[in-house]
Amino acid sequence: MSVAVVIPTTGRPSLAGLLEVLAGAEVVVVDDRTGSEPPLAVPAGARVLRGQARGPAAARNAGWRVCAAEWIAFLDDDVVPGTGWLAALRADLEGCGPAVGGSQGRVIVPLPDGRAPTDWERGTRGLETARWATADLAYRRAALEAVGGFDERFPRAYREDADLGLRMDAAGWTIAFGRRSVTHPVRPAPAWVSLAKQAGNADDVLMRALHGPGWRARAGVPAGRRPRHLAVAGAAALAGAALAARRSRTAAAAGAAWLAGTAELTWARVAPGPRTRAEVTTMAWTSALLPFAATAWWLWGLATVRGRLAQPGPQGRPEAILFDRDGTLIVDVPYNGDPARVEPVAGAVDAVARVRAAGVRTGLVSNQSAVARGLITEADVEAVNARVAELVGPLDVWTYCPHGPADGCDCRKPAPGLVLRAARQLGVAPGRCVVIGDVGSDVEAAHAAGARAILVPTERTLREEVQAAPEVARDLGEAVDRALAGEPVP
C-alpha cells in the first residue's frame, strides 16, 4: 500500500515543523501563495508544486493529481502530528475495506488553561467535531478519481470539504474514522476575523444548489444564525427607510428590533468567553456589523450562483447535452405535425443558448410514434423540427424514432438507440452526454446508453417516474445549469 501526503500552504511558519515529522514520506507541498514571495524552504525529499492561488480546493487537486500513490493524505499546514502519526496513518488505512473511500483522523484543538476560550478559539475548536475536515483526512485515489476530486468552485475553506464528503457518500464510498490524531493550535487572528468568515454564506448558497436543502443535516453542519442575521439586518434597513420617510413610530419600532437583535448576538458571543474588556469590545462592534456582512454575502451568493453553476464542476462539463423535444424544449402538443403550433417552453431559448455559449454540443432525441400510427409523416416531423430550430436555436444533431411501441426497434426510448446514435454522430462517448427529458423513458434511455439523465417533470410526468429518477430539476434552465456544472445532484 502506497501513501502520499499533500499539504496546501500559504507559507505559514508552522509548515517547517510539520515537514520534519513527515521526513521519509512522499510529500507534495502545494505553494498557493500569489507568486511574488520567495521560494519555500522545504527539506530534501519533499516536492514543491506551485499552485494558482485559487484556494484550498484547487491546491489539493493540483497536489493529488501528480501523485501515483494508492492513498492521498491531506493535511493543513498548521497542524502538528505526533511522532508516530505516519505509522498510525498506515495502520488506519490497512484496516480500510474496499468500500472505504476515506479515513478521517482526529483533530485536537488545545485551549488555554485557567480561562474560558474566546469566540475565535471556540470557533476553531469546531474542527474537533467537524465531519470530513481535511485538516487530517486520507482519501483513496480511486475514490477521488471517481468523483473528480475537490470542487474548485469553492474558493474558501470548509465547504469544499463537506461538498466532497457528500459526493463521496452519494457515489457509494464510506469515510471511516481512524485512530490517529493531529493537534491544531489556535492561530492568531485579527479582531475582524468573524466578519471575514461571513464570506462563507455565499458558498452555502452554492451548497444548497448542488446538494439540495437538506445538505447541512447530511454533512453534519450546524444550522447557523442566518435567519436571525437576515431579520436584524432587515430591521435596520426598515428603520433607516422609515426614518427617511419621517415615519417615526415605525423607525423607532424597527430600530428597537435591530438593537435587541444586536444585543442578543453580542451576549451570545460574550457569555461563554473570558469577558475581558478587549473581548467584550471586539464582540460588541463586530456583532453590530456581523448581520450585515452575513446578509450581504448571502445575497451575493444568490446573485452569482447561476454563474458558479455554469462553471465546470469537479467532473468537468459534458461534451454533449441531448434534449427530448415535446414537453422538454417545446410545449407538448400530442402527435403534432403543424409547425404553427410549436411553442418553446419557458426558458428554452436562454437554456439552449447557454449550452452553445459554453462550447458544449447539442442534440435532439425524440420519440415520434405518430409516424407509425399514420397520424403524421416524417416530412411533418422535419418541418416541426425546423420550426423548433427557428424558435429555440440550432442544435448540432436531430434524431427521432418514427416507430410505434409494438415495432420492437432499438431506437424508441426507453431503448438506448437514439442516445447512442446522437452520440455517434457528434463523435462523443455516450458517457460524456447528458440527456434532459420530461418522462421516465428519457431517463431509462440515457442510463441504458451509459449517459447521465436529468428529469424535468411536467403535468404528464408520473409520480413514480419522478421518484425513480436519480436527478430531478425544477425547470429546463436548472437542468442545463446542473448539466454544465458537470456533476450529478440528487
pLDDT digit string (tens) for 166-189? 999 888 899 999 999 999 999 999
For residue 336 the three cell numbers come to 403534432
Q: What does the pLDDT look like over 190-243, one tens digit per residue?
A: 999 999 999 999 999 999 888 888 899 999 999 889 999 999 999 999 999 999
Specify the pLDDT at position 488: 56
User: Residue 75: is its pLDDT beyond 70?
Assistant: yes
Instruction: Compute the mean pLDDT over every residue in the chain, rounded to the nearest whole number.
Output: 92
Closest CA to 30 of 15, 44, 20: 15
Q: What whole-number distance in Å separates Cα of residue 137 and Cα of residue 161?
A: 10
134, 204, 221, 288, 293 from 194: Cα distances, Å: 21, 16, 18, 12, 10
Q: What does the pLDDT look like over 245-292, one tens digit per residue?
A: 999 999 999 999 999 999 999 999 999 999 999 999 999 999 999 999
For residue 454 the three cell numbers come to 436529468
Q: What whole-number distance in Å separates Cα of residue 475 and Cα of residue 167?
A: 23
Specify the pLDDT at position 490: 45
Specify the pLDDT at position 61: 87
Given the residues 31, 324, 438, 481, the one annotated as active site: 324
204 is known as an active-site residue: no
Q: What whole-number distance in Å separates Cα of residue 431 and Cα of residue 450?
A: 5
| Residues forming CATH 3.90.550.10 domain(s) in the chain | 3-189
Q: What whole-number distance in Å separates Cα of residue 305 and Cα of residue 208?
A: 10
Given the residues 78, 326, 380, 438, the one annotated as active site: 326
Domain at 3-189: CATH code = 3.90.550.10
433, containing H or E segment: strand 433-437
Q: What whole-number distance in Å separates Cα of residue 37 and Cα of residue 245?
A: 53
- In CATH terms, the superfamily for domain 320-485 is HAD superfamily/HAD-like (3.40.50.1000)
Q: What does the pLDDT look like over 390-446, one tens digit per residue?
A: 999 999 999 999 999 999 899 999 999 999 999 889 888 787 899 999 999 999 999
363, containing H or E segment: strand 361-367
Q: What whole-number distance in Å separates Cα of residue 447 and Cα of residue 345?
A: 25
| Residues forming CATH 3.40.50.1000 domain(s) in the chain | 320-485
- Residues linked to residue 248 through DSSP beta bridges, in sequence order: none
410 is known as an active-site residue: no
